[in-house]
Amino acid sequence: MSLSPSLWTIPVSDSDAAAIVSRAQVLFERLRGIVSQHQNVRLASSMAAEDMVVIDAIARTGVPISVFTLDTLRLHSQSVALIDEVSRHYGLVIERVLPDAARVDDYVRHFGVNGFYESVEAKEACCHVRKVLPLARALEGASAWVTGQRRGQGVTRSALALREFDAPRGIDKFNPLHDWSEEDVWAYIHFRHVPFNPLYREGYASIGCDPCTRPVKAGENLRAGRWWWLQEDSKECGLHVQK
């Protein structure tokens, strides 16, 4: 009988304390640079490991960057609980941005509760209602926004820059972890004792909505568990697509 493939596990880094602190200082300076250029900056946090690093850096530096998360109403219970845990841990207000109830009802009537499994069109429509439109509301009045994206997260992010212009929203967008590795992220989390989603301990390398996320095998792309029934170039929800 063949053994089932092992699941992804949280990586162990060989970075020493000095290297972690040095990398953190670069991150802190990036955040300070962002707020020196913009008056109203907001972090869009999915409560992923990368976002936890950025939230920790915001708390440590005291930079005026507000934090919000898109509560799609289809999140894992662990993800929902983490929002409150992180808010208490850092004494930060994390705004929950919900989808419009009428639009969700319209989607369900047209595609079904889990219609996103049936076609790319249905998947994109669901993400549009639950993520893209709420993001637009959350960024109203902002002069820039911050993400936890990294180049190593997938082929659609391989050329990610520190600073981009978000043409659809007409504001600057910053990815202060763009050049960090997966190991860098987890080295920081362990060194600073940063809270993180317990689903990572169960093989979830990238965590989105509950019905659209599953654990990944060791060696697979980190986002292989996101919308696993689709091709690699379809594994974005529309939040970071420049059109």
The pLDDT of residue 233: 56
Partner residues linked to 166 by β-bridges: 171
In a domain, 2, yes or no: no
Q: Is residue 10 part of a domain?
A: no
- Angle ∠(190,191,195) on CA atoms, nearest 5: 45
Q: What is the pLDDT of residue 1?
A: 38
Are 117 and 228 contacting, i.e. CB atoms less than 8 angstroms apart?
A: no
CATH of the domain at 44: 3.40.50.620
Q: Return the axis-axis angle of helices 77-90 and 49-61, rounded to nearest 10°.
A: 10
The pLDDT of residue 186 is 97
Give how many domains the chain has, as a whole number: 1
Res 232: pLDDT: 64
The CB density around residue 60, as the number of other CB atoms within 10 Å, is 14
Predicted local confidence at residue 4, as pLDDT: 54
* pLDDT at residue number 168: 87
pLDDT in tens, 136-175: 999 999 999 999 999 988 776 778 999 999 998 999 999 9
Structural domain harbouring 73? 17-234
At 152, list the tokens. 């190593």
H or E segment at 66?
strand 65-70
Q: Which helix (H) or strand (E) holds 69?
A: strand 65-70
Residue 8 within a domain: no
Per-residue pLDDT at 158: 73
Question: Would you place residue 242 in the very low, low, confident or very high pLDDT band (cuts 50, 70, 90)?
Answer: low
Q: Is residue 29 part of a domain?
A: yes
Diameter of the chain measured on Cα atoms? 61
Domain for residue 118, yes or no? yes
Q: Is 212 a catalytic residue?
A: no
Residues contacting residue 13 through CB under 8 Å, at least 6 positions apart = 183, 184, 186, 187, 190
Of residues 175, 176, 127, 165, the one with CA closest to residue 243: 165
For 180-216, the pLDDT digits (tens) are: 999 999 999 999 999 999 999 999 999 999 999 999 9
* 224 part of a folded domain: yes
Predicted confidence band of residue 132 (pLDDT cuts 50, 70, 90): very high
pLDDT > 90 fraction of the chain, expressed in percent and rounded: 84
Q: Is 142 inside any structural domain?
A: yes
Alpha-carbon distances of 134 from 5, 23, 88, 143, 227, rounded to whole Å: 38, 33, 24, 17, 20
Closest Cα to residue 91, out of 180, 179, 8, 195? 195
- Long-range contacts of the stretch 201-204 (C-beta < 8 A, 24+): 201/10, 202/7, 203/7, 203/8, 203/9, 204/8
What pLDDT is recorded for position 192?
A: 97
Question: How far lies 204's CA from each of 4, 46, 89, 104, 183, in Å?
Answer: 16, 14, 23, 26, 15
Catalytic residue among 126, 127, 212, 237: 237
Residue 109: which pLDDT band, with cuts at 50, 70 and 90? Answer: very high
In this prediction, residues 227-237 reach a mean pLDDT of 69
Q: Does residue 140 lie within any of the structural domains?
A: yes
